[in-house]
Structure 1
Amino acid sequence: MVNSESNGKVALVTGANKGLGFEMSRQLAQQGLTVIIAARKLEAAVAAATKLKNEGLKAEAILLDINDSIQIQSAVQEIKNRFGKLDVLINNAGVMLDGEWAISNASSVSVDMIRKTFDTNFFALVEVTQAMLPLILKSQSGRIVNMASIEGSLTLHADPSSFIYDSKPFAYDASKAAVNSFTVHLAHELRNTPVKVNSAHPGWVKTELGGDGAMMDITEGAKTGVQLATLPDDGASGGFFHLGQPVPW
């Protein structure tokens, strides 16, 4: 059921004009949050926000290419001016450039591809988070959700009995392992604040990234990120989760 009354909380979701980002935005807005739809093209963000508004939800649009430092700072200033704080940041925007999931390409993947993957999946994520953190610290219950992947689990990659054992697109996997490291380190740094920082594995979801063979629909895939974005005050921090269950590092 849609909550028609705003609970006063504001969420920013990157890469939110489609797929998981859009559905997480919808589910957060259904819980009463005002959701800021961030996208690389303003018209795409506006179109997505308009869809949610037409459903009676509170949504705004913002231009944010996470690889653009100037746009990051502009977004911080716009959110500060309009809302004065940020309660939720979901770092959803990401790329998978290796091409195929069922490959092992550590010996052949180009350094340029690794750099491009890390630029978006890791370095931009860190930059956005650091830039937004002063606003998140103004929240009474700040939540940072880093959309990682089970492909970033070193434990499962090293286990021959794991279902991801033969899926080793190195650039993507390494970038998500780095995201998990950032989650652990930032959560430790913020352990004495109300802010909680967690990594999410959404599942193998039917999106452009997941492909048609994926096993989960987008509605189900969005649930983990939304759960971590709305954790209670005694919720976990510094963890890696899928639908409430821990994922091994």
Structure 2
Amino acid sequence: MTTTFITGANRSLGFETARRLRDAGHTVVLGARDPERGRAAADALGARFVHLDVTDDASVAAAVADVAAHEGVVDVLVNNAGVNQPPKPADELTAADAAAVFDVNVIGVVRVTRAFLPLLRASANPVVVNVSSGMGSFAVTHDPDRVESTFAAPLYTASKSALTMLTTQYAKAWPDIKVNAADPGYTATDFNGHSGPQTVTEGTDAVVELATIGAQGPTGQFRDRHGVVAW
């Protein structure tokens, strides 16, 4: 049985990823910052809820201890939790705004991944999937045929670019763990007011693909539902 821990899994892409991996036979542990919403989501899926705030060291440590006591191993870690930047013009964005975005989207991934390393290394085939974005790709955001090129979101895009690079560097540093990044694409979620043309299921295709790779699967890649993303 494959045990999978997903951060920010109480709604949208995280919840759909949890549902699909549960249906694929994974034992899913659902991490969320909001206990009420997290428990409700876990109950709906028949999964186990663990409280987790990716910005808090004590919360992450408690979550790891909880999983260690109950499951004893994590085969797949999906770093899904993420935030958008504040809805205001670029010239009004502050250093504090940047710190808040990076604390979740980048530092939170470092915090969670490092804490879960012992449980990942207890697996015969450990996998980490970081949910990044094409919005963090130079190639994609400069392609006039891509919708991502029409947005200006300095802090969000910078954080996702940093996350993708973090992914590739972790893959180099940890040859015993497969570490990849997924671009969900422009998906209709609460994140964008449900304006994206993709369904939430389509948005999780790359995440699910990378979460279910076998022992000979790739590492250090950035993929969307169509394949490798240039960045």
Which consecutive residues of structure 1, in runs of 5 or more, have no partner in the other structure?
A: 1-7, 54-58
Aligned equivalent of 1:138, options 108, 122, 133: 122
Cα-Cα RMSD: 1.5
Partner SS for 2:214: coil
Query: Match of 2:71?
Result: 83
Q: Do the aligned partners of 1:45 and 1:63 also contact (CA within 8 Å) in 2?
A: yes
Match of 1:62 in 2: 50
Contact 2:221-2:228 within 8 A present in 1 as well: yes
Residues 6-45 of structure 1: pairs in structure 2 closer than 5 A: 8-45=1-38
Q: Tell me the CA shift for residue 162 of structure 1.
A: 4.7
Report sequence identity in percent. Answer: 35
- 3-state DSSP class of the match of 2:169? helix
Residue 48 in structure 1 maps to residue 36 in structure 2: no
Q: Structure 2, unaligned stretches of length 5 or more?
A: none
Higher helix share: 2
Q: Deviations over 1:159-186 (max 9, x none)?
A: 5565423322000000000101110100
Deviations 1:68-126 (A, max 9, x none): 110100011111111111001111111002327xx7x3x54222111110011111111
Answer with 215-224 or 22-31: which moved more. 215-224
Q: Extract structure 1 runs of 4+ deviating beyond 6 A.
A: none
Report the 3-state secondary structure (helix = DSSP H, G, I; strand = E; otherwise coil) of the residue aligned with 2:48: strand
How many matched pairs? Answer: 231
Task: Tell me the TM-score normalised to structure 2 length.
Answer: 0.95
Q: Which moved more, 1:144-153 or 1:34-43?
A: 34-43
Contact 2:10 2:31 in 1 (8 A): yes
Secondary structure at the counterpart of residue 164 of structure 1: helix
TM-score under structure 1 length normalisation: 0.88
Q: Residue 95 of structure 1 aligns with which residue?
A: 83
Aligned pair 1:210/2:192, yes or no? yes
2:62 corresponds to which residue?
74
